[in-house]
Amino acid sequence: MAEPTHTVRNSLMDKSGLLPSIGVASARSAWHRLGVVGSAMFSDKLDRRRKIHRWALVVAATLLAAGIAVIAIIAVEAFDMLAAAEADRGPVILGAAIAFAGLLVLCLFAYAAVRVYARVTTR
């Protein structure tokens, strides 16, 4: 079987040629190969900034997921103890809400720390 010619359809397909690629990076490289987009629009500096942003989001999201899991485990254990003692659940709910608010602040701090660290080390 002959190799297909280089067309827009072929350049936007994934490596196997079965599924169209919808990723930003693959579409960007497809437009570069066709000569439609100049290199100034997608510079290395912009790509580096985008990758740093994604990495910071991954760190913050991982911290958020782990924190929610820990808060949930502790809240369930506290509710079990309170159910046995037939005590008021309000303080536990308030404590979980305060812990969640603190976790959100910690996630924002982690996001900012990754961005600052990347900015300082790349200069």
Do residue 52 and residue 36 come from a single domain? Answer: no
Split into its structural domains, the chain has a count of 2
Do residue 78 and residue 93 come from a single domain? Answer: yes
Q: What is the pTM of this model?
A: 0.60
Do residue 12 and residue 56 come from a single domain? Answer: no
Helix (H) or strand (E) holding 75: helix 44-85
Residues linked to residue 20 through DSSP beta bridges, in sequence order:
13
Instruction: Single out the residue of 118, 119, 105, 114 nearest to residue 56, CA to CA.
Output: 114
Do residue 35 and residue 12 come from a single domain? Answer: yes
Structural domain for 7, as ranges: 1-42
Instruction: Give the tens place of pLDDT for each residue, 46-102.
Output: 888 889 999 999 999 999 999 999 999 999 998 888 877 777 888 888 999 999 999
d(CA 30, CA 46): 18
What is the separation of C-alpha 25 from the centre of its chain, rounded to a whole number of angstroms? 16
Do residue 48 and residue 90 come from a single domain? Answer: yes
Do residue 71 and residue 114 come from a single domain? Answer: yes
Instruction: Give the tens place of pLDDT for each residue, 101-122.
Output: 999 999 999 999 999 999 898 8
